[in-house]
Amino acid sequence: MPARFVYWMNVSLDLKIERRANEQGGGDWLRIGESLHRDFNERAGTLSMMIQGRRIYETMEGFWPTARENAGLPDYLREYGTIWTDIPKILVSRTRTTAGHNTEIYGDDAMERLAALRAGGEGDIGVGGASLASQLVTSGLLDGLVLYVHPVVLGEGRPLFDEGTPSVECDVLEQRSFDGGVTLHRYAVRTRQ
């Protein structure tokens, strides 16, 4: 069975991932408590690798590599720091030429290389970044979504997918609730005919 590309994201009820540009995953509307973060850790720990767009990668690299050794942080944040830093990653970027933390860079030919990776790989591969996920949908390569829905309507901001992304149908695989009213919705993308 080939690998599966699964888009993970925290979203508002109106499917926004940022209220304002460059919130970098830290908007005050997010309700990320311990139980939710432990779920992130558990799921991330089962991934065979991660693929991230430049913006999300740069957000992650700015915090998680040092978080794993920061004794002032709770154990579940240190644990995610270790997961993120150690897992193999692909950074999809036309502008970056170097990256650390077990990361390979794919540039202009990224969709072709990702298609080959998916065909020859195994397990779930976490996807981070709206533009990257939109490109995967357009290329017929997105296999699933894991959405953590926070109970707020932002009314403005960056959407979950870029405008013009083709329509796909999904099937619900799992739903859960966490402290603070956050709900998980896990979907499989239906195969296009």
pLDDT in single tens digits along all 193 residues of the chain: 789 999 999 999 999 999 887 776 678 899 999 999 999 999 999 999 999 999 899 989 999 999 999 999 999 999 999 999 999 999 999 999 999 999 999 999 999 999 999 999 999 999 999 999 999 999 999 999 999 999 999 999 999 999 999 999 999 999 999 999 999 999 999 976 4
Total-model pTM:
0.93
CA 82 and chain centroid, separation: 17
> What is the spatial distance between Cα 163 and Cα 132, in angstroms, rounded to a whole number?
13
* Residue 54 parent element (H or E): helix 54-61
CATH number at residue 124: 3.40.430.10
The distance from CA 7 to its chain's CA centroid, rounded to whole angstroms, is: 5
Is residue 64 within 8 A of residue 54, CB to CB? The reply is no
Contact between 68 and 85 (Cβ < 8 Å):
yes
Print the domain residue range for 71: 4-189
Q: Alpha-carbon distance 129 to 124, whole Å?
A: 16
Number of domains in the chain: 1
